[in-house]
Chains A and B, each alone.
Chain A
Amino acid sequence: AQSVTQLGSHVSVSEGALVLLRCNYSSSVPPYLFWYVQYPNQGLQLLLKYTTGATLVKGINGFEAEFKKSETSFHLTKPSAHMSDAAEYFCAVISSASKIIFGSGTRLSIRP
């Protein structure tokens, strides 16, 4: 069965610092992987997704993620954090039943 594990329920970084949000997946088939962002009182918005092809995926708002099969990881990064990046971030994988399974989320806080 497919699943994702997000390491760290809360990450705090200074404005301008590197953002790294960790996600490890479990999948018996080649996975489709996603990162979504949820701002307060809003629904989820797709940041980026990996299906096939290039393992480094670029998304919106300067975020990118790298699919590493050997490490079963799909970590999300951004070189320089901005105050507007403060939100909840969810890693997700497609299940064998073709449904999205979300991780438990990581809350990103940005310090001035």
Chain B
Amino acid sequence: DAGVTQSPTHLIKTRGQHVTLRCSPISGHKSVSWYQQVLGQGPQFIFQYYEKEERGRGNFPDRFSARQFPNYSSELNVNALLLGDSALYLCASSLLRTGGQGVGEKLFFGSGTQLSVL
């Protein structure tokens, strides 16, 4: 079975542009979470979606938005890109609403999309 897949793997944008990142969870997983990992830092939580509804939001500006589709895939959108948005964006999927935090539950990460803003 395929793991969590993200596209594209690399992306270069300029300041002010818009970007859409895509994530397909593991088959059967209904929860998708997005993380931003700036070089040299740990991942920072952006959003969690479960059954197409937002279940959690991190401390990110409104330029960041996301959605989850009926097939449980997800998109992360970032408007008006800033240089500071350059990072590795990670998607993670899990089976349950708890998003990988439950006892005995596990969070599966994709390889990420490397976004460079020039």
Which residues of A are interface residues toward B (Cβ below 8 A)? Answer: 9, 32, 41-46, 51-52, 90, 92, 94, 97-105
Contact = CB atoms under 8 A, between A and B. Distances in A.
Contacts of B44: 102
Contact of B106 (A32, A46, A52, A104): A46
Nearest to A99: B45
Contact of A98 (B90, B98, B103, B107): B98
Given A94-B101, A99-B58, A100-B101, A43 B45 contact: no
Interface stretch (B35-43, B64-72, B73-81): B35-43
Contacts of B103: 51-52
B42 A41 contact: no
B99 interface: yes
B109 A104 contact: no
6 contacts: A42-B111, A92-B42, A97-B56, A99-B56, A104-B41, A105-B41
Contacts, number: 51
A3 to B, nearest CB: 11
Contacts of B56: 97-99
Contacts of B26: none
Nearest to A32: B101
Nearest to A92: B42
A102 B99 contact: no
B109 A43 contact: yes
Contacts of A105: 40-42
Given A9-B40, A51-B104, A104-B40, 16 more contacts: A32-B101, A42-B111, A43-B92, A43-B109, A43-B110, A43-B111, A43-B112, A46-B106, A46-B107, A90-B43, A97-B56, A99-B48, A99-B56, A99-B101, A100-B45, A103-B42
B53 to A, nearest CB: 15
